[in-house]
Structure 1
Amino acid sequence: MAQTETILTQNRSTGVPPTGVSPSSNAGAGAALEAAGPTPIAHKPLYGSARLVACLGVLVASAVALIAASRVFEGLLHKRPVALLRPIPAMDAHRLEPRYTLHPIPAPLLNEETLETLGTREYLLWRVVDVTRDRSDPAAVAHLFITYYTGKPDQVPHVPDECYFAAGSQLVRAEAHSIPVPGVRADGNKVPVRATVWQMPPRSRFPSLSDGEGARNRTVLYFFHCNGAYMTTRNEVRLAQAGIRQRYAYYMKIEVNFTDYTFTRNATSEESVEALPPLLERVMGTLLEEHLPDWSRLNSAPQAQERAN
C-alpha cells in the first residue's frame, strides 16, 4: 500500500495511470487519498511583493518631494516686480542743471511698433547739451536712452548691438571701461561701461565730413543697473536676476552717444569716455534718489517679515 501511494503521488500531476498498478488498485488508492484530504499547496515567500511595495513607496515619496520642491523654486525664480518711485519718462531735467540742459530739438517719440519690440514703456530719450562745451565740440550733446524692465521672468536683456547690426552697421571694436563716478553707489565709485564703435552704413554717414573717426563711426556707450549693481553684459543681468536669495528683480539699461550741437559729428571713443563721468554723476544720482527704491531695504523687508512671523 505504501508503494502504491508513492507511485500515485509521483504521477498525480500528469494524469497518467501508474505503471504496474491495476485499475482496482487505483480505485482503492484513490479512495484512500480522498479520505486523507487534499494535499497541501506550498506558498512562495512574499519577499518579492514586499520589495515591490517598498519601491513604489519610494517613488511616490520622491514624486511628492519633487512637486513640492518645484513649487518652492518656481516661487523663488519668479521674481516680484519692482515698482518705481517715479516713472522714468517723468525724470526731472532740472536735476541736471546748471551744467546740462535739454536740446531745443527733442528726440522723436517711439512709435507703437518700436515700443512693442522694445518691450517696455518705461523709457527716456533725451538730447542733453553740455553748456560748458563749445557747440562745435563733438561731445557737446549727449543722446541719452534709458529703458527699465521688471516683472518679466527670464527676459533676455536688449543690447544696442542688435539694433546696429539690424541697421546694417559693422562693429569696428568693443572696449571695456571703468568710469570713475562718485556718489552713484558703484563699487569703488567706478561704473563698468561697454564702449562699442560702429561703422555706420553710407546712408547714415554725415555728408558734410569725410575725414576722421567721428565722420565714419559712432561710439555707443552702455551699461546695466540690475538689482542694485552695475554690469555690462546680458549674462550678468540674467544671473543677477536668477539669485534664489532675492525676491525682487529689475534691470535698467543706460545708453549714450555723443555728437556736436548740430548732430553732424560723432565723438570718438576717447572723447565719449572722457565726457561721460559728469553726465552719469547727475543722471544716475537722479535715478537713484527719485526713481529707484532702495534695493537693500527692498530685499530685507520680506526677510524681516518672515522672521517676525
Structure 2
Amino acid sequence: MQVERAVKQAFVAACTCLALGGLGFCLAMSQLNVFLQIESVPLRTPIDELPSMLGGWKQVGKDQQLSDAVIEELGTKNYLDRAYVFQNDPTRGMLQVHIAYYTGMIDTVPHIPERCWGAAGLVMCGETQERAPKLDQSIFNLKSGPLQPGTGLRYPQATVKELVTRKDATVNLPLGDMKMTVSIFQDPKSQGITFIGGYFFIANGTITPSALAVRNLSFKLTDRYAYYCKVQFSYRVREQPEIAITMFDQLASDLLQSLLPQLMRSLPDWPALESQSLSSAVSSS
C-alpha cells in the first residue's frame, strides 16, 4: 500500500511539474512576444475587384476562371487571372496578370515559371534574372508612413481612389526594393516568339523576388499573422529575347506603378496588424 501511495504521489508531482513547466513556457513566449500559433488574416477586399483600368492599362476580355482541379493544385481560391492591354492597343503591349493570396499555416510551394512552363513544352533561355522595375517614387509619400517596430524602417504610402465613393484613400506600401525574378522562354514549335514570366511576392508587408525567401518572411515567430501574395506578369511577343526583355521591363514598370497601390488596398494592412499585435503583447505583459 505504501508503495502504491508513493507511486501515486510521484505521478501527481510529475503532472504538476509538467503543468507548471507548460505554463512557464507559455508565459516566457508571451514575454518574448513569440507566437507559436500562426493566425490567418483575410483580404480587405477580393483580389478580383482590382480596377479594370490601371493608368494607361485596360482589362481585355473576362477574368480567367480556373477549374477545381487547377485551384486545388494552386492551393488557394483567392486568385486573379486577367489580361491588361496598354493604351487600348495590343500591339503596344499586353500583360497577363496572375495574383494568388495565401494565409495562415501556409504549406503550398509557389508555382513559378521556371518550374511550370518547362513542363508545358517551353525551353528556358539561360538562367533566371533579377530585374528592377522603375517606379516613380515621387508620387509616393516616403516621410509620413508608420514605422516597422523591428527595424524602424518607414512604410511608403500612396493615394488611391475608392472604387465606390471615388474619395482619396491612403494605403501603406510594402517595404523592400521592387525587384522581380524573370525567366525567358522560347517554344521550339513557334520560332521567333519569346515568352517572359516575371514575379515577386509580398509577404507580411515586405517585397521579395525570391520563392525561397517568401516563406522566411511569412513565418516569423514574432508575427501573430502570416500571409503572402504572389504577383506574376506573363508576356508574349514576336521578338528576340534581348529585345523582348527590354520591352517587358518597360511594360511591367508602367503597369506596376498603378497596380501596386491598388493591390495594397486589397491586401491586409500590415502596419495596422503589427501595431495591434504590439498592443496585445504590452497589455498581456
TM-score, structure 1 as length reference: 0.65
Paired amino acid for 1:176 = E
CA-to-partner distance for each residue in 1:45-84, whole Å, 9 max, x for gaps?
Answer: xxxxxxxxxxxx99x96897479649959x8243111111
Task: Confirm whether residue 81 of structure 1 aligns to residue 34 of structure 2.
Answer: no
| 1:141 corresponds to | 94
Structure 1: distance between partners of 2:43 and 2:196: 30
Structure 1: distance between partners of 2:248 and 2:110: 24
| 1:16 corresponds to | none
Structure 2: distance between partners of 1:265 and 1:111: 32
Task: Confirm whether residue 284 of structure 1 aligns to residue 241 of structure 2.
Answer: no
Task: Confirm whether residue 100 of structure 1 aligns to residue 57 of structure 2.
Answer: yes
Query: Is the 8 Å Cα contact of residues 98 and 231 (structure 2) preserved in structure 1?
Result: yes
| 1:110 corresponds to | 66
Structure 1: distance between partners of 2:215 and 2:40: 15
CA-to-partner distance for each residue in 1:252-300, whole Å, 9 max, x for gaps?
Answer: 000002246xxx77971121012111201111110112x1232111122
Paired amino acid for 1:116 = E
SS in 2 for 1:275: helix
Compare CA radii of gyration and give the structure with the larger one.
1
Q: How does 1:169-184 map to 2 (within 5 A)?
A: 169-172=122-125, 173-181=127-135, 182=137, 183=140
| 1:39 corresponds to | none
CA-to-partner distance for each residue in 1:223-269, whole Å, 9 max, x for gaps?
Answer: 00111010011221111122111111100000002246xxx779711
Larger relative contact order (Cα-Cα within 8 Å, sequence gap ≥ 6): 2
| 1:306 corresponds to | 281
Distance verdict in 2 for CA 1:283–1:303, change over 3 Å: same
Paired amino acid for 1:163 = C
Paired amino acid for 2:44 = L
Distance verdict in 2 for CA 1:243–1:135, change over 3 Å: closer
Which has the larger helix fraction?
A: 1
Give the unaligned 5+ runs of structure 1.
1-56
SS in 2 for 1:219: strand
CA-to-partner distance for each residue in 1:175-216, whole Å, 9 max, x for gaps?
Answer: 11222223363557x4111111123352xx3xxxx44xxx1x
* CA positional deviation for 1:144: 0.6
Percent identity over the alignment?
24
Over the aligned positions, Cα root-mean-square deviation in angstroms equals 3.2
Query: Is the 8 Å Cα contact of residues 75 and 108 (structure 2) preserved in structure 1?
Result: no
Query: Is the 8 Å Cα contact of residues 178 and 191 (structure 1) preserved in structure 2?
Result: yes
Task: Confirm whether residue 195 of structure 1 aligns to residue 148 of structure 2.
Answer: no
Give the unaligned 5+ runs of structure 2.
1-12, 141-157, 159-172
Structure 2: distance between partners of 1:200 and 1:77: 47
Distance verdict in 2 for CA 1:149–1:69, change over 3 Å: same
Structure 1: distance between partners of 2:239 and 2:40: 40
Structure 2: distance between partners of 1:153 and 1:108: 24
Distance verdict in 2 for CA 1:77–1:269, change over 3 Å: farther
Paired amino acid for 1:78 = Q
TM-score, structure 2 as length reference: 0.70
Q: How does 1:1-309 map to 2 (within 5 A)?
A: 65=21, 69=25, 76-94=35-53, 96-97=54-55, 99-103=56-60, 105-106=61-62, 108-131=64-87, 135-137=90-92, 140-172=93-125, 173-181=127-135, 182=137, 183=140, 185-187=173-175, 190-202=177-189, 205=190, 210-211=191-192, 215=193, 217-259=194-236, 268-289=244-265, 291-309=266-284
| 2:147 corresponds to | none
